[in-house]
């Protein structure tokens, strides 16, 4: 005989406040999140998508983390050795911008401080905000191995970044060159194609005349950027353009200047766009740049890195782009060179971080040659080495990877991994090395300077799955936990991050970075709007945790999670799940009030139908929830648990167990019922634990199981001795009868607490229904608050006087009401009921009348229709008999 130390003094209402903090500290103390290399166990690993150190955790993170935590906790319970590796991202531009903004408040610019001082300031910022984010993760309940926390700019990762850079460079997969890049004049740095966000905007097409040399007339060119005309070096037309064929090879004069430029042909020109003639400005437009290279044209830069016109722009020097444009157009007009303007909508690129209009800018930059890397990445998914969930994202991935362009990785910033390249002032040679060189590797001059640019922040993120585990050193962690099992992230960073991790993982580990990648939807507000600080519709997870508790927030996010649809979150939703915590708490409180210290065995022979029902359902939950979680469907799992606890356990089982627990059914029944209750909670709490870790741990202890943390228990295996075939269907008959009788009570306006004297259930005595109901009469009396429920055959002569009647299945349920029956109302109710059933019979009959249906539909479907007809017909007969007796 075992006994447990139960805590029967639970507060009446659940309060998460102290409980969550308490358990989190205990878990940490006990080292329960620590990932250990255990050759005996299978590994399960996740590296966290490192949040930016720029701010605080938002509800999107909370969702992301809840999902990962549910996976990790479940896998631990399933016996895996689990690593959930946490960390944060230095977030290059984003962080530099916030710190700069912060400094600007004090009137300081980064140039005032100088590079070294400024970077020091950012590190100070990182210290404060980075640790704040970590604290927030802990409040959520994240079961990360904090001993292994990493930062994308820490020493180990810097080593990895350098190693990767050098190896890619030596392999020819990183190159440096002067190209047109996307340039943010405000951030004063190059950005990658992905960091440009396009939006449709109103703009103007200026139709400009380029006077022909040696000929009368002019060529008309449509441009949106007249201020770049001083940078023009040619006009281009399509080689097969009828309109311009004979102008190829002629020369024109650049408007408002003396420069003469040629008319060339190039098939990149779209003859149907604008006037069909394109002005070529290689320094300020990507296409023009390519055409310029092809035709060996000069690159004349007229706008500088700050978006200001330079000396090549002549009189416009010093003007901002917009001002220069206005002035230039005015001058064109005065010179009679502007034919017309036309309003158009075109898409304009903006800097992802600051919204400034992006300029195509010619500059010296570093690039990753992505094609060869991408090919392997595509192959890995095609081979099934990486699985996308939901699968649809595979297409998006392929589409991008198959059309990938080289990745501009250099940033003219101060915060980030400085590019490990040293440029020799004497011979110009570039030395790329993992360790700081002291001399030029080519001419051995000591006169070398390190490249001042830093790397795109995503460059270091791309290495995250292996750099965090000690690469390039040969660490046992790498062997054991790499490839990681799962990557959980949003679709917004599939290209930025997921694709690049795949490429880098394959290149440097020769294996995929993760087996499965789960892409979840975005969290929006209750109206479907994207949450943003400016809109003021942000739901702060920390505020929600303070208000409702972390468990409630987690359960909400889990239950709302659906594949392929945005998630709309509101605080009333969280409230619903907050109520669920209380429900679970009180159900447990009830159980504890009725459990002895002694743990009672379940005597199978003592079980009633509802005991068998709840035992069976409990075992079903153990296997179903596990299956759902293993297939990443945590939404269904959470909702199923919610319904099970609230519906099956609380609404039905706890109510039905009351008489036995009170001792009304004898001591043996009391003990067995206690045993069932114990089994239900001992199994269900662990199933709930991954979703709501805190409250389940607290209850686990209250039940007296606290010698071992619930976190450390194994996932419950369904026990076959507690699975009773067909019990759910049997239970349904009881439930339907109860519902029908309760409905009659409500019809009769009987107050819920009032006990009625008598109710009658009439059913043929040799039926299954009769058998089930006979065994459950006490339960029905109890659940419906009727002192005496009488079961009698349908043939028995009716002797109980005026009554309300209804039917369910093959039973008729009657509630005698003495002389107070409202006959009129009862008649119309019965008629209504007859009508509904008749409609159902008719639709079933109509189907059965079709030969095709009977011939082609599966036998069981046909049989179901037949029984619906026969049962319905019988029900109508009974209802009609009741009607008749009323009409008399």
Partner RNA sequence: GGGCGGAUAGUUCAGCGGUAGAACACCUGCUUUACACGCAGGGGGUCGUAGGUUCGAACCCUGCUUCGCCCACCA
Residues within window 742-801 making contact with RNA, judged by CB under 7 A = 742-743, 745-746, 751-753, 785
Smallest gap from residue 47 Cβ to RNA (A): 24
Residue number with CB closer to RNA (119 or 656): 656
Q: How far is the CB of 466 from RNA (least distance, A)?
A: 26
> What's the longest Cα–Cα distance across the chain?
120
- Looking only at residues 249 through 268 of this chain, which bind RNA when binding is defined by CB under 7 A? 268
Residue with smaller CB distance to RNA, 819 or 858: 858
Residue 650 interacts with RNA (CB under 7 A)? yes
Positive/negative CA dihedral, 606, 608, 612, 615: negative
Binding mask 139-178 for RNA (x = CB under 7 A): ----------------------------------------
Q: Which of 3, 5, 13, 796 touches RNA by CB under 7 A?
A: 13
Judged by CB under 7 A, the number of residues near RNA is 90
Smallest CA-to-CA distance from 547 within 571, 529, 566 is with 571
Helix axes 609-630, 655-662, angle to 10 degrees: 130
- Burial (CB < 10 A; 0-12, 13-18, 19+), residue 309, is buried
Tokens representing residue 320 in the block: 């901002």
The answer to whether 466 and 98 are in contact (CB under 8 A) is no
* From 60, 92, 271, 465, residue interacting with RNA (rule: CB under 7 A): 271
Among the listed residues 170, 240, 315, 405, the single contact to RNA using CB under 7 A? 405
Would you count residue 15 as binding RNA (CB under 7 A)? yes
Residues 322-361 within binding reach of RNA (CB under 7 A): 344-347
Residue of 3, 38, 257, 399 interacting with RNA (CB under 7 A): 399
* Residue 117 or 492 with smaller CB distance to RNA: 492
**Cβ atoms 727, 616 nearer than 8 A:** yes
Which of 438/873 has CB closer to RNA? 873
Name the minimum Å distance from CB 289 to RNA.
10
Q: Is 566 in the site for RNA (CB under 7 A)?
A: yes
Site string for RNA, 839-858 (x = CB under 7 A): -x--x---x--x-xx--xxx
Among 46, 53, 181, 278, binds RNA (CB under 7 A): 278
Regarding 285 and contact with RNA (CB under 7 A), the answer is yes
Binding letters toward RNA, positions 578-607, x by CB under 7 A:
xx-xxx--xx-xx--x--------------
Interface with RNA in residues 713-732 (CB under 7 A): none
Stretch that binds RNA, among 322-330, 422-430, 740-748, 879-887 (CB under 7 A): 740-748
Q: How far is CA 353 from CA 11, 52, 362, 524, 646, in A?
A: 49, 13, 21, 20, 46
Q: Give the nearest distance from C-beta 304 to RNA in angstroms.
A: 19
Judged by CB under 7 A, does residue 576 bind RNA?
yes
Q: Which of residues 177-196 bind RNA (CB under 7 A)?
A: 193-194
**Does residue 658 belong to the site contacting RNA (CB under 7 A)?**
yes
Q: Which residues pair with 418 in a beta bridge?
A: 454
Shortest spacing between CB 654 and RNA, in angstroms: 4
* Among 397, 399, 383, residue whose Cα is nearest residue 511: 383
- Residues 74-103 within binding reach of RNA (CB under 7 A): none
- Asked whether the beta carbons of 351 and 196 are under 8 A apart, the reply is yes
For residues 810 and 874, is the Cβ–Cβ distance under 8 A?
A: yes
DSSP assignments along 247-270, one per residue: GTT-EEEPTTS--EEEEEE-TTS-
Residues between 507 and 536 that touch RNA (CB under 7 A): 526-528
Is residue 193 within 8 Å of residue 213, measured between CB atoms? no
> Smaller CB distance to RNA: residue 158 or 778?
778
CA-CA distance, 251 to 366, in Å (whole number)?
Answer: 36
DSSP 670-710: HHHHHHHHHHHHHHHHHHHTTTSHHHHHHHHHHTT-TTS-G
DSSP collapsed to 3 states, 599-653: CCCCCHHHCCHHHHHHHHHHHHHHHHHHHHHHCCCHHHHHHHHHHHHHHHHHHHH
Counting contacts by CB under 7 A, is residue 568 touching RNA? yes
Residue reference for tokens 């609380």: 650
Q: Which is nearer to RNA, 88 or 223 (CB)?
A: 223
In this structure, are residues 520 and 489 in contact, taking their beta carbons and an 8 Å threshold?
Answer: yes
Contact 83, 46 (CB under 8 A): yes
Q: Cβ 219 to RNA, closest distance in Å?
A: 12
- Site residues for RNA, 223-242, by CB under 7 A, read 223-225
């Amino acid at each position: 005989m075992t006994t447990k130390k139960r805590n029967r003094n639970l507060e009446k209402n659940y309060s998460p406040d102290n409980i969550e903090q308490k358990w989190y500290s205990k878990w940490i103390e006990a080292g329960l999140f620590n990932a250990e290399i255990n050759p005996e166990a299978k590994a399960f690993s996740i590296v966290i998508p490192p949040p930016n150190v720029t701010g605080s955790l938002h509800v999107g993170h909370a969702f992301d983390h809840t999902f990962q935590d549910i996976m990790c906790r479940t896998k631990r319970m399933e016996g895996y050795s689990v690593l959930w590796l946490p960390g944060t991202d230095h977030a290059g531009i984003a962080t530099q911008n916030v710190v700069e903004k912060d400094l600007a408040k004090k009137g300081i610019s980064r140039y005032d401080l100088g590079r070294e001082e400024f970077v020091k300031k950012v590190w100070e910022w990182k210290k404060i905000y980075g640790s704040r984010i970590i604290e927030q993760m802990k409040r959520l309940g994240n079961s990360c191995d904090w001993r292994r926390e990493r930062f994308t700019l820490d020493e180990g990762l810097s080593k990895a970044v350098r190693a990767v850079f050098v190896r890619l460079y030596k392999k020819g997969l990183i190159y440096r060159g002067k190209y047109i890049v996307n340039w943010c004049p405000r951030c004063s740095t190059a950005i990658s194609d992905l960091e440009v966000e396009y939006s449709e905007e109103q703009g103007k097409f200026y139709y400009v005349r380029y006077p022909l040399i040696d000929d009368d007339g002019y060529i008309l060119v449509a441009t949106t950027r007249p201020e770049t005309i001083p940078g023009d070096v040619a006009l281009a037309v399509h080689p097969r353009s009828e309109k311009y064929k004979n102008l190829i090879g002629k020369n024109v004069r650049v408007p408002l200047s003396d420069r003469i430029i040629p008319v060339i042909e190039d098939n990149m020109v779209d003859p149907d766009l604008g006037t069909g003639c394109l002005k070529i400005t290689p320094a300020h437009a990507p296409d023009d740049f390519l055409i310029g290279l092809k035709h060996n044209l000069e690159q004349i830069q007229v706008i500088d890195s700050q978006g200001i016109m330079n000396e090549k722009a002549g009189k416009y020097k010093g003007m901002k782009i917009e001002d220069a444009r206005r002035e230039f157009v005015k001058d064109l007009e005065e010179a009679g060179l502007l034919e017309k303007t036309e309003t158009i909508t075109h898409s304009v690129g903006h800097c992802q971080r600051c919204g400034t209009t992006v300029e195509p800018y010619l500059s010296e930059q570093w690039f990753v040659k992505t094609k060869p890397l991408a090919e392997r990445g595509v192959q890995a998914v095609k081979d099934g080495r990486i699985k996308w969930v939901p699968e649809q994202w595979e297409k998006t991935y392929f589409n991008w990877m198959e059309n990938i362009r080289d990745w501009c990785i250099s940033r003219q910033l101060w915060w980030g991994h400085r590019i490990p390249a040293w440029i020799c002032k004497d011979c110009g040679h570039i030395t790329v090395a993992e360790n700081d060189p002291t001399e030029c590797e080519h001419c051995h001059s000591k006169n070398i300077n390190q490249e001042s640019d830093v790397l795109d922040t995503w460059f270091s993120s791309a290495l995250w799955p292996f750099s965090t585990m000690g690469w390039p050193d040969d660490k046992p962690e790498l062997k054991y936990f790499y490839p990681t099992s799962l990557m959980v992230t949003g679709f917004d960073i599939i290209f930025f991050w997921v694709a690049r991790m795949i490429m880098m993982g394959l290149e440097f580990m020769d294996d995929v970075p993760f087996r499965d990648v789960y892409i979840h939807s975005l969290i929006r507000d209750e109206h479907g709007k994207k949450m943003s600080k400016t809109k003021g519709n942000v739901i702060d997870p920390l505020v929600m945790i303070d208000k409702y508790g972390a468990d409630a927030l987690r359960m909400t996010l889990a239950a709302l999670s659906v594949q392929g649809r945005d998630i709309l979150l509101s605080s009333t939703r969280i409230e619903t799940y907050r109520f669920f915590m209380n429900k679970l708490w009180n159900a447990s409180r009830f159980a504890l009030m009725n459990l002895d210290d002694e743990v009672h065995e379940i005597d199978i022979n003592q079980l009633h139908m509802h005991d068998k029902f709840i035992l069976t359902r409990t075992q079903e939950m153990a296997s179903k929830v596990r299956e759902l979680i293993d297939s990443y469907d945590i939404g269904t799992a959470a909702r199923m648990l919610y319904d099970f606890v609230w519906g099956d356990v609380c609404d039905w089982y706890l109510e039905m167990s009351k008489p036995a627990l009170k001792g009304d059914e004898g001591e043996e029944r009391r003990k067995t019922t206690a045993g069932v209750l114990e089994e239900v909670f001992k199994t269900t709490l662990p199933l709930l634990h991954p979703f709501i870790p805190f409250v389940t741990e607290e209850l686990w202890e209250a039940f007296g199981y606290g010698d071992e943390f619930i976190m450390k228990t194994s996932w419950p295996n369904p026990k076959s001795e507690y699975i009773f075939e067909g019990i759910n269907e049997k239970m349904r008959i009881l439930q339907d009868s109860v519902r029908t009788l309760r409905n009659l009570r409500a019809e009769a306006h009987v107050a819920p607490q009032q006990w009625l004297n008598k109710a009658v259930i009439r059913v043929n005595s040799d039926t299954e229904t009769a058998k089930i109901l006979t065994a459950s009469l006490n339960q029905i009396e109890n659940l419906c608050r009727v002192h005496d429920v009488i079961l009698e055959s349908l043939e028995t002569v009716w002797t109980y006087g005026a009554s309300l009647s209804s039917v369910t299945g093959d039973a008729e349920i009657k509630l005698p009401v003495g002389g107070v029956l409202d006959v009129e109302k009862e008649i119309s109710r019965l008629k209504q009921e007859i009508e509904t059933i008749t409609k159902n019979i008719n639709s079933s009959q109509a189907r059965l009348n079709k030969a095709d249906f009977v011939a082609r539909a599966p036998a069981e479907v046909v049989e179901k229709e037949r029984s619906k007809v026969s049962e319905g017909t019988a029900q109508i007969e009974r209802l009609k008999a009741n009607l008749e007796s009323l009409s008399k």
